[in-house]
Amino acid sequence: MGTNEPFVIYPARRVITINPAFPFGDAVAVAGDRILGVGSTDELASWGEHRIDDCFAEHVIMPGFIEAHCHVMSGGLWNSTYVGFFDRRDPQGLLWPGCTSIDDVLERLAKAAADMTDDSQTLLAWGLDPIYFPGERLVASHLDTVTGDRPTLILHASGHLATINSALMDRCGIDETATSPGVARGADGLPNGELHEPAGMMLAGEAFADMMKANRTEQSRWRYASEARNAGHTLLTDLGTTQLWDPDQLSNWKKVTSDPAYPARVMVAMSNLFGGTADPAELAELCVQLKSEQTDKLRFGIVKLILDGSIQGFTARISWPHYYKPPPGHIGNGMWLTAPDQMADLVDPYHRAGLTVHCHCNGDEATEAFVEAVEQVLERCPRWDHRHTVQHCQLTTPDQYRRMAALGMCANIFSNHIYYWGDQHRDVTVGPERAARMDACATALASGVSFSIHSDSPITPLGHLQTAWCAVNRVTASGQVLGPDERIGVPDALRAITIEAARQIKMDGEIGSIEAGKLADFAVLEDDPLAVDPMALRDIGVWGTVLGGVPQPAQISDS
Amino acid sequence: MSTPRLPVTVVGGYLGAGKTTLVNHVLRSSDERIAVIVNDFGEISIDEDLIVAADSDKLTLANGCICCTLADGFAAALMQIRSAGTLPQRLLIEASGVADPTQIAAYGHTPGLRLDAVVVMADAEQVRRQADDRWVADTVRMQLAAADLLVVNKIDLLDDARKADDLCDWLAGLSAGATVVRASRAAVPIDVLLGPRSARDTASARERPAPEGAAAPGWHAVEDLFESQTVVLKAPIGMPVIEALLANLPDAVVRLKGLVQAVPPASESDANARETADATAYLIEAVGKRTSMTPHATDPTQPPPRWAISLISHKGALPPNWLQARLRPDR
Ligand SMILES: [Zn+2]
Ligand SMILES: [Zn+2]
């Protein structure tokens, strides 16, 4: 053995290794930050001097969950009050019950306002999703009843809308003379406090800017990783929200991840979306440079591109017959965020630099443009094992999956959509047939495409047991099964949240399964995901994680 | 409030149509101090000889203004521009090649700003193909429809005049009411892009006193394709006259801009009532289908502005006294 330190044996109720050659064990042995071996306690003891730690004897140990698509913003938003429809646990482990009515939202805001000491401070909230409150619209006059003179802003779950109260409207000079199309008006013709799209939201001035600034702090990075640990995750991919070209942001990442107590590894994806140079060749060079400086806990090498918008925001690029029941005035299809015919030239420099390109494609037209771009760059510059990945991959068709398999591409499927917006997709956005085949894990599997599944937190709550539950059961928020033929089995879902996720960020040699020599990153669970009823998958308790051999108990507070 | 609202020009159009060439052309040729905001995912492609200094994501321009990106949001970009020292006289926003110019134009409604025009560029050689492209047809058509001023660029690449005429007719149909102008290398006369110079002068905060006896219409050619006329106003005019002017502009008018004192209909018939005291100052504008009348704040500590209306029209399309005649409908 390559270490003189005595190693630790953790006996467990069961160790699920996700290594098909050695699927289960009774115990796992950890030397330093690595896995010495998995097997029976006796087998492991034969390695030499050791200590047995029984703390996980009643638990099930799995490889640490790997989220290959979320955003550090999910840590920053917790500086604001959560008013979303679904229950959500904050990074401190406190459960925030969903606000399932306008009254719930107001009650939550009233309490938050009462807890604030500084009268001049703006009340910020997030997560509002009016799609769940059909009929009445939450507007400024509602907010005024509980917030009084305190300026208040709620960022909607979509990120495309905000609702503010009259005090903030006054402060920002938003009145009947407003000419911006981003200022929504009520039946009386007066601004109702709803601000649409960035051009409208920016009228809320500093309140909106403050909310965004919170995403760049050290504290938000800690919260990001704490929330992950609480859900059993040991690696998070910040898929392109941070401004890597900004030395402050980079040093901030280096600082937090070099703290031994920081409870997750982070893969930070390079992105051209948020300022700095837009020259892909220059960005590719920077990314290669960063890769040479990476540490065990801070990783680089992934590039994030983006082609279209979101399905529920009616901005995804969807092939004919496009949207099912778009809102009045909609042009029928979504919008491009990058010109599709520019895509091959954008991918090219990253591809040549040996990097892996992950491209946001919600609609199948976006997938088509990305797959074609990859075909073109492969023709220009053949390269094996690139693992370029279609992110979200929500409407990707069977023929596209077959081409992706042939090209060596991976998929990261947004399974959580089935639960959180599946009913809306069936009834409004894409209609019953395409909703039944969206987020097609079974098709990916049958086509031989390596795939993971994701939360895109903060868009939906981080937590791979929930995400796996969605892929396995395909049950919507209203309790209906959407597309039963695209359901996958629990073993495949467990692979998707561990080794397959590691594979698309090219870390499957180090993490993603429990095997001798890999990093000792575990999810420690209260129950056995392979033994429980698949519908109970998301209810399994999480003790916490082991990160690089160090136990990291989850913070759960029910006060 | 004495600071006039900053005019905003949005430059849109599909990839490769010549937006950046146009922005550089404006920076090079205009006598205004122009701040530029670029919305192309962090890309700033201002000509190097127009750049005085560069600092991460913003550039200091030869005219003393700056260029920055929408990366951190419009508010941050505006803040950068306002903190740069000398205030600009115009804001130019270059939209990304796939952006909906209408959405970008919404920023022109930010307090303190005033949307001047949405200029959309089309590539004369490519636009027909793009408007039928399997992926971007709807994007390109949406962009064309958003135009107040549609610049058919690279017109020199078409080999005959009939093709050019056909193309412009077809584009006029798609852009529903936009003024269509032709250009090569995005060289559109500055007065066409930003409005008639004399009217721009009247709208600026610092005003030279009106020239003596300047009631006669000014008349001079704006390069080869356009000409302009200006009427300097000695007295306030009736609101209905202005409204009728804006409502009935012929297609030949490319742009109109003016600073006027308008009096309500009741006192219009009585010439003696046309006192400055009863009149309200308005900035009036027309470009393509967009016409507007916005109250104009005057600064009592400054000399009075020069009241005048100017227009630019296609060469030979209007009689030289057309505007003069419109302003005296009773004669
Ligand atoms: Zn995305
Ligand atoms: Zn995302």
Asked if residue B286 and residue B146 are part of one domain, the reply reads no
Contact B142 A276 (CB under 8 A): no
Contact A340 B42 (CB under 8 A): no
- E strands, A32-82, are 34-39, 50-52, 60-63, 65-70, 81-82
Q: Does B272 touch chain A (CB under 8 A)?
A: no
Any domain includes B252: yes
Strand partners, A118: none
Asked if residue B148 and residue B27 are part of one domain, the reply reads yes
Number of domains making up chain A: 2
Q: Is the pTM of this model over 0.80?
A: yes
Task: Tell me the mean pLDDT in the region A54-61.
Answer: 98
**Mean pLDDT value across chain B:** 82
Q: What is the pLDDT of residue B270?
A: 53
Q: Which domain-ending residue is among B150, B172, B188? A: B188
Any domain includes B282: yes
Q: Which domain-ending residue is among B155, B188, B221? A: B188
The residues, any chain, with a CB within 8 Å of residue B167's CB and separated by 6 or more, are: B124, B127, B128, B152, B158
pLDDT per residue as tens digits for the range A190-245: 999 999 887 888 888 788 778 877 878 899 999 999 999 999 999 999 998 656 76
Residue B195: pLDDT over 90: no
| A443/chain B closest Cα distance in angstroms | 25
Closest to A359 (Cα-Cα) out of A378, A376, A340: A340
Q: How many CB atoms lie within 10 A of CB A328?
A: 4
Q: What's the domain range around A37?
A: 7-58
pLDDT per residue as tens digits for the range B266-325: 654 555 545 555 788 999 999 988 888 888 887 778 788 889 999 999 888 999 999 999
Q: What is the pLDDT of residue B329?
A: 58
Pairing outcome for strands A356-361 and A389-392: parallel
Residue given tokens 């990097």 in the structure block: A355
The pLDDT-based confidence of A550 (bands split at 50, 70, 90) is: very high
Give the integer Cα–Cα distance in Å for B316 and A249.
Answer: 59
* Of A290-304, A330-344, B174-188, B256-270, the least confident: B256-270
**Mean pLDDT value across chain A:** 93
Any domain includes B1: no
Q: What is the pLDDT of residue A180?
A: 83
Residue A173: closest CA among chain B residues belongs to which residue?
B111
DSSP letter string, A149-194: TS-EEEEETTSSEEEE-HHHHHHTT-STT---TTEEE-TTSSEEEE
The pLDDT-based confidence of A289 (bands split at 50, 70, 90) is: very high
Q: What's the domain range around B23?
A: 6-188
Residue A179: closest CA among chain B residues belongs to which residue?
B109
Asked if residue B103 and residue B35 are part of one domain, the reply reads yes
Please, what sign has the CA dihedral across residues B141, B143, B147, B149? negative
Q: Which domain-ending residue is among A169, A190, A213? A: A213
Any domain includes A140: yes
pLDDT > 70 fraction of chain B, expressed in percent and rounded: 82
Q: Does A323 touch chain B (CB under 8 A)?
A: no
Asked if residue B226 and residue B152 are part of one domain, the reply reads no
Q: Does B40 touch chain A (CB under 8 A)?
A: yes
Residue B203: pLDDT over 60: no
pLDDT per residue as tens digits for the range A24-47: 999 999 999 999 999 999 999 999
pLDDT greater at residue A258 or residue A134: A258
Q: Does B39 touch chain A (CB under 8 A)?
A: no
Please list every residue in chain B whose beta carbon sits closer than 8 Å to the beta carbon of residue A197: 103, 106
Q: Which domain-ending residue is among B158, B188, B218? A: B188
pLDDT > 70 fraction of chain A, expressed in percent and rounded: 97
Any domain includes A430: no
Residue A119: pLDDT over 70: yes
Please list every residue in chain B whose beta carbon sits closer than 8 Å to the beta carbon of residue A199: 74, 103-104, 106-107, 109-110
Give the integer Cα–Cα distance in Å for B45 and A379.
Answer: 30
Q: What is the pLDDT of residue B251?
A: 86
Asked if residue A82 and residue A29 are part of one domain, the reply reads no
Q: Residue B318: which CATH number?
A: 3.30.1220
Please list every residue in chain B whose beta carbon sits closer than 8 Å to the beta carbon of residue A202: 73-75, 107, 110
Residue A365: closest CA among chain B residues belongs to which residue?
B135
The pLDDT-based confidence of B72 (bands split at 50, 70, 90) is: low
Residue B212: pLDDT over 50: no
The pLDDT-based confidence of B200 (bands split at 50, 70, 90) is: low
